[in-house]
Amino acid sequence: MTFRLGAVELRRIALPLVSPFRTSFGSQTERDILLVRAELIDDDGGRSEGWGECVALSEPSYSAEYVEGAQHVIATHLLPRLRIADRLEAADVGTLLAKLHGHPMAKAALEMAILDAQLRARDQSFGDFLGVTRTTIPSGVSVGIHDTIDELLAAVQGYVDDGYVRIKLKIEPGSDIEHVAAVRELIGPETPLQVDANTAYRRTDGAHLRRLDEFDMLLIEQPLAEEDIIGHARLAAEVETPICLDESLVSAAGTADAIELGACEIANIKPGRVGGYLEAVRIHDLCRHQDIPVWCGGMIETGIGRAANAALAALPGFTLPGDISASTRFYAQDIVVDPITITDGHVTVPTGVGLGFELDRPYLDSVTTGTQLLT
């Protein structure tokens, strides 16, 4: 069965967050998300629809991409290159778009929609496509920066009560050592703990970050600038807690280099950041080959991205709990009818056809702020 591309719809939705989410790069109270709906047409004229979720934020604050720019580059530059192909499936997207620089999140969203459509046409689940055997995955939670330690502890206690098996604290200079110390005291020595700086530190902060070593954490995520691979390698030699890269890893080739340089002791894999689920699998494979533990990051996804991430994270190299929390961690209501939940600290790997979600169309329509149809 081969496919050609039919209509593509770009849809923007606005979803309020249940509580403000503050990181070293800013505070969010609402998520403005770009969804991609792609139609594939098979040899017999049969049509299949797939959905992708673009993880770009509203502002270029996490990486250079932002939602409005992602929509523009898809409509103006990416989609026309896919339309040239007379046969198309997810595996072709990366090659067809390779000559266009950057914009991994925009490319990933297109590839994801096409992947979902082709899996649905073939009546296959994403987990089956990936060859995963695990049926559940451990669920970690990402906790924003709080103004006071009391507020932070109340939030963490709530997540512990929800059953999350791993706590990740967002940190920045001024909200780090004492916050981590207080949380470690609250959750005890056994609960896995890690921090994420989202590039908030400088090369000269090695001695400061070394103070985190006494809290026996799994990792320190992205302390330095996205492009500072050598800085991370030096920090990895200076600090005992393993250094994990997030923002710095944008491709399999770059990840291999970062590992070779000693900058990446653990890898956070986010499909959107690396240009799609297929590149994410390649990064998983190379890390596994080199004994670099990986875990699946999150970008405050809806049920679409959460379902796909839960299947990806069932691959064997994902040996650490990911940021795949219940939908209710961020959203009072999700755009899917079967939102991700956690049971005994674990998320069930979806087994449904395609990426494994089913849309709640009325709710999706009610949160839609705009649609652009591209035929």
The residue at minimum Cβ distance from Mg ion is 246
- Are residues 121 and 359 in contact, defined by beta-carbon separation less than 8 angstroms? no
246 touches Mg ion by CB under 5 A? yes
The pair of structure tokens assigned to 326 is 């219940």
What is the DSSP pairing of strand 193-196 with strand 166-170?
parallel
Q: What is the DSSP string of 313-343?
A: TTSTTB-S-BS---GGGT-SS-SBSS----B
Cα–Cα–Cα angle for 216, 217, 219, rounded to 5 degrees: 140
Minimal distance, residue 128 CB to ligand OSB, in Å: 25
Q: State the binding partner of 142 from Mg ion, ligand OSB, none, CB within 5 to 8 A by kind.
A: ligand OSB
Instruction: State which residue, 51 or 62, has the beta carbon closest to Mg ion.
Output: 62
Q: Cβ contacts of residue 124 below 8 Å, gap of 6+?
A: 353, 354
Instruction: State which residue, 37 or 179, has the beta carbon closest to Mg ion.
Output: 179
Judged by the rule CB under 6 A, the positions of this chain that interact with ligand OSB are 62, 142, 196, 198, 246, 297-300, 323, 325
3-state secondary structure of 50: strand
Instruction: State which residue, 118 or 223, has the beta carbon closest to ligand OSB.
Output: 223
Q: Please identify every residue annotated as catalytic.
A: 170, 270
Q: State the binding partner of 300 from ligand OSB, Mg ion, none, CB within 5 to 8 A by kind.
A: ligand OSB
Closest CA to 221 of 154, 269, 285: 269
Stretch touching Mg ion by CB under 5 A, among 114-122, 124-132, 216-224, 313-321: 216-224
Running DSSP on this structure, what letter comes out for residue 243? Answer: E
Dihedral sign of CA atoms 56, 159, 177, 179 in order: positive
Instruction: State which residue, 88 or 143, has the beta carbon closest to ligand OSB.
Output: 143
What's at 131, amino acid-wise? G
Q: State the binding partner of 339 from Mg ion, ligand OSB, none, CB within 5 to 8 A by kind.
A: none
Minimal distance, residue 32 CB to ligand OSB, in Å: 13
Q: Which of 111, 196, 228, 265 binds Mg ion (CB under 5 A)?
A: 196
Minimal distance, residue 24 CB to Mg ion, in Å: 10
Q: State the binding partner of 62 from Mg ion, ligand OSB, none, CB within 5 to 8 A by kind.
A: ligand OSB
Closest CA to 304 of 59, 107, 109: 109
Minimal distance, residue 305 CB to ligand OSB, in Å: 9
Q: State the binding partner of 298 from Mg ion, ligand OSB, none, CB within 5 to 8 A by kind.
A: ligand OSB
- The rounded distance, in Å, linking the Cα atoms of 32 and 66 is 10
Residues β-bridged to residue 39: 49
Beta strand segments in 122-273, E: 136-138, 140-143, 166-170, 193-196, 220-221, 243-245, 266-269
Instruction: State which residue, 107 or 168, has the beta carbon closest to ligand OSB.
Output: 168
Closest CA to 12 of 41, 33, 36, 43: 33
- The rounded distance, in Å, linking the Cα atoms of 80 and 102 is 16
- The rounded distance, in Å, linking the Cα atoms of 164 and 321 is 10
Stretch touching Mg ion by CB under 5 A, among 43-51, 75-83, 245-253, 284-292: 245-253
Closest CA to 374 of 71, 109, 86, 114: 71
Minimal distance, residue 61 CB to ligand OSB, in Å: 9
Stretch touching Mg ion by CB under 5 A, among 131-139, 221-229, 304-312, 341-349: 221-229
Instruction: State which residue, 48 or 255, has the beta carbon closest to Mg ion.
Output: 255
- Are residues 130 and 349 in contact, defined by beta-carbon separation less than 8 angstroms? no
Minimal distance, residue 8 CB to ligand OSB, in Å: 26
Stretch touching Mg ion by CB under 5 A, among 55-63, 164-172, 192-200, 229-237: 192-200
- The rounded distance, in Å, linking the Cα atoms of 50 and 37 is 6
Q: State the binding partner of 325 from ligand OSB, Mg ion, none, CB within 5 to 8 A by kind.
A: ligand OSB
Instruction: State which residue, 278 or 300, has the beta carbon closest to ligand OSB.
Output: 300
Q: State the binding partner of 323 from ligand OSB, Mg ion, none, CB within 5 to 8 A by kind.
A: ligand OSB
Minimal distance, residue 228 CB to ligand OSB, in Å: 16
Applying CB under 5 A, the residues found at the interface with Mg ion are 196, 221, 246
